[in-house]
Structure 1
């Protein structure tokens, strides 16, 4: 008989460790995931805004370059027209000069002065034509350089546009995940708040009589002092405690998506018992299982939803070594946790 009780105790402790650690860890993972999601979204937003500004500046620079190139092209066209005019003028003078040289015997010496003037004008036209050709070549070099700069800017803009579109896509996906996660978190918070209200209504007559209800880390904690449930050092539940547990079991039976953890807590005063109860560990476990058995008298509660846990003296509310602190620490906590299947599925998928 003792061996069976010992095995039962070990199993209860193991299941306690599993049930209490895993949901807490998963809930923390969920909170961390949500915070990471928010940080990533904000980072993408900032990056997106920066790229948009850069994109706008790049487009403005390209517009200025295009205007500059258009002005240069106009200037080049004007210079080409001017060059064409001077080129024709030069050809006329050159032809005239060649005619004079060919027929110089026909001209008298009185025409020497006119010939010299013509030669001077031809040379001046030739020099002017050369200068214009040089300027045109310089302008073509500038125009080519500007065109290369424009091509580089256009390529950079295309790459920037592609990056911006990718970041916008990532931001949209991140926003979608964030909204989905936030929506489910809101539903969970609403479910917890609604559950707390239902439990509070059901146990209205027991508040301020050794019972308190609060929400911590997305869970509803129903804390019952020793005086409401047990006599000192015993694990048989008193009548008033049974009545409170029956009212609570009605709420739990109606809310099937709630996991139930019953934790027994003792003070730090050593317990030296006989029989099945040897110490505070044993007492805390037996008290937890006694409460579980009463809750399960409501046949609508599935046993797989409930875990019994003995925490002994190791999770005190008040660590002080006073009688008042020890009174607070001698308690049973019924921890109600909404099932987070949807949320854990999102965590696994992401």
Structure 2
């Protein structure tokens, strides 16, 4: 606007001067005026353009300000987020360090535990190998024992067979003796089997007078019957035992007490049995028990009578049995 006013002033001055100057000068001024007017027109146009640019620049500035404000707010928000992230990061880092320390501790503990487990495993492996060795030895021992057991079972079976034969022999002898001495039952003679042996018990009333060791005739008859059975069974061992009651024996000769008397009576019986040629002396043993193996109480007359006796104990030949027993030890 200031430029336009200046141009008008120049133009007015030019009109005033035109009346005082020549046409040449007037033309020059007119040309200048026209040039200035054109320039003014250009300036006005430029001014409008500048105004438009200014308006646009101001709008852009406003947008820039808004964008700046948004950027500032966004920056603030971002800073807050960054601070939160930094705190989270710091927390995570602390947790990570804590976990790392724990992990290192756990790794160390695990390493120790693994070492201990490995040591334990090696020890168990050694124990297993030892047990396998022991098991192998035990299996070998078991195999040996099984063989021994089988051999022992065979011997036991053989032993049972021998015992069965011995029992059969004893039963047979008992029956033969019982049959042979049947006529003497109720006269102080009994036959029974005990512990695999045959016991022939003859009371003194059948054999001897009181205080004597000479066998009476009826007793001799019974012993001869017994001797005939024993002669037919040469494998039977014969033990003749003399027994007395506890009444004191008052002897004047070599027989001075009950023990002597029991021995003398058993010897007398042995001599009668040996009169049978089928009985070898090696089969017979004479023994005296005196009053020390009573069958009943010596407090009564009946008990004393039972205790005064001769027992002929018949035993089968046990040599085969003893050999088997010895081989099993």
Q: TM-score, normalised by structure 2?
A: 0.56
SS of the residue corresponding to residue 215 of structure 1 reads strand
Give the match for residue 245 of structure 2: 267
Q: Quote the residue 2:299 is aligned against.
A: 321
Shift of 1:317: 0.4
Deviations 1:300-340 (A, max 9, x none): 21111111111111110013411111110000001111111
Q: Alpha-carbon deviation of 1:160?
A: 8.0
| Cα distance change of structure 1 residues 320 and 166 upon mapping to structure 2, 3 Å threshold | same
Aligned equivalent of 1:179 = 157
Query: What corresponds to 1:250 in structure 2?
Result: 228
Aligned to 1:217, which of 177, 195, 203? 195
Kindly state the Cα deviation for residue 164 of structure 1 after the two structures are TM-superposed: 5.8
SS in 2 for 1:301: coil
Equivalent of residue 290 in structure 2, options 276, 289, 312 = 312
1:42 corresponding residue in structure 2 = none
Q: How does 1:68-83 map to 2 (within 5 A)?
A: none
Give the SS at the match of 1:200: helix
Deviation at 1:236, TM superposition (A): 1.0
The aligned residue for residue 227 of structure 1 is: 205
* Aligned residues: CA RMSD: 2.6
Of 272-281 and 198-207, deviating more is 272-281
- Give, in whole Å, the separation in 1 of the partners of 2:141 and 2:287: 54
User: Which residues of structure 1 form unaligned runs of 5+?
Assistant: 1-147
Q: Which has the larger radius of gyration?
A: 2
Q: Which moved more, 1:323-332 or 1:271-280?
A: 271-280
Q: Aligned runs of 1:157-196 on 2, under 5 Å?
A: 165-196=143-174
The residue that corresponds to 2:322 in the other structure is 344
Deviations 1:203-256 (A, max 9, x none): 011112100011112211100001111111111111110100000000111110
What are the superposed Cα offsets for residues 48-67 of structure 1, whole Å, 9 maximum, x if unpaired? Answer: xxxxxxxxxxxxxxxxxxxx
Q: How does 1:52-131 map to 2 (within 5 A)?
A: none
Does the C-alpha gap of structure 1 residues 185 and 168 become closer, same or farther in structure 2, counting only changes over 3 Å? same
Distance 1:347 1:165, change over 3 A: closer
**Number of corresponding residues:** 203
Deviation at 1:347, TM superposition (A): 2.5
Residues 161 and 279 (structure 1), Cα distance of their counterparts in 2 relative to 1, 3 Å cut = closer
3-state SS, counterpart of residue 292 of structure 2: coil
1:240 lines up with 2:230 in the alignment? no
Counterpart CA distance in 2 for 1:279 and 1:167 is 57
Structure 1 279/163 Cα, relative in aligned 2: closer, same or farther at 3 Å? closer
TM-score (norm 1): 0.53
Q: Which has the higher contact order (CA 8 A, sep 6+)?
A: 1
Within 2, Cα distance between the matches of 1:230 and 1:328? Answer: 14
Inter-partner Cα distance in structure 2 for 1:280 and 1:333: 16
